[in-house]
Amino acid sequence: MKILRVILITVLLAALSTPASAGMLTLGAKASIYNPPEAGASPSLMYGFMLDYDINAVFHARAGAHYTSYTANDVDYTLMPITLDILAHLMPGNNVDPYLGVGVGYYSKTIDGEESSHTGGQAIAGIKFNLGGFSAAFEATYMVPDLAKSEEGSFAWGGWASGSTYVYVPF
């Protein structure tokens, strides 16, 4: 077990020191099918936007805001997560690039007009297709809108498309 930790830390430090694509800023739109955790709810469309910043060739940070609404047992729900994620690309620089990520977020949930907000978390797995200055991906996200209630997690799966530009950010 100790050797696995040493290997993981070595790989992480090597990836963090690779500046290959640092500085690229990407704006994208995302649409997913959200599977609500409430009994009697049907899947709903979740849509939003995201802003990605390449830290280096392997890691990038993503900020996103999404929205969905649905009904379960005659009760109206809306969910709006505002998230910050760190993603790791498993095959950086390739035209087909699988990735994994984790993040935290501010999850605002309204149930029949009564709003509540909590700190939530998400785990992400996807596969990105690089097409020059344009990218598209298929992605699955497991979201827990309230970390105090981890048993109330749910999945969203869908895709996104983005374009990019280089922006100098001095950090």
CATH number of the domain where residue 138 is located: 2.40.160.20
Instruction: Inform me whether the pLDDT recorded for 148 exceeds 80.
Output: yes
CA distance 71 to 4: 46
Residues 26 and 52 sit within 8 Å (Cβ to Cβ): yes
- Tell me the residue range of the domain where 69 lies: 20-166
Domain presence at residue 13: no
- Name the amino acid, one letter, at 2: K
Q: What is the pLDDT of residue 85?
A: 97
CA distance 65 to 20: 28
Domain presence at residue 171: no
Domain presence at residue 12: no
Domain presence at residue 14: no
Q: 127 is written with which tokens?
A: 């596969």
List pLDDT tens digits, range 70-96. 999 999 999 999 999 999 999 988 899
Domain presence at residue 11: no
List pLDDT tens digits, range 19-75. 445 677 888 899 999 999 998 899 999 999 999 888 988 999 999 999 999 999 999
Domain presence at residue 56: yes
Residues 43 and 31 sit within 8 Å (Cβ to Cβ): no
Adjacent-strand bridge partners of 135: 130, 162
Percentage of the chain exceeding pLDDT 70: 82
Domain presence at residue 1: no
CA distance 107 to 70: 16
Q: Please state the domain count of the chain.
A: 1
Average of per-residue pLDDT values in the chain:
85
Domain presence at residue 122: yes
Instruction: Inform me whether the pLDDT recorded for 97 exceeds 70.
Output: yes
pTM: 0.79
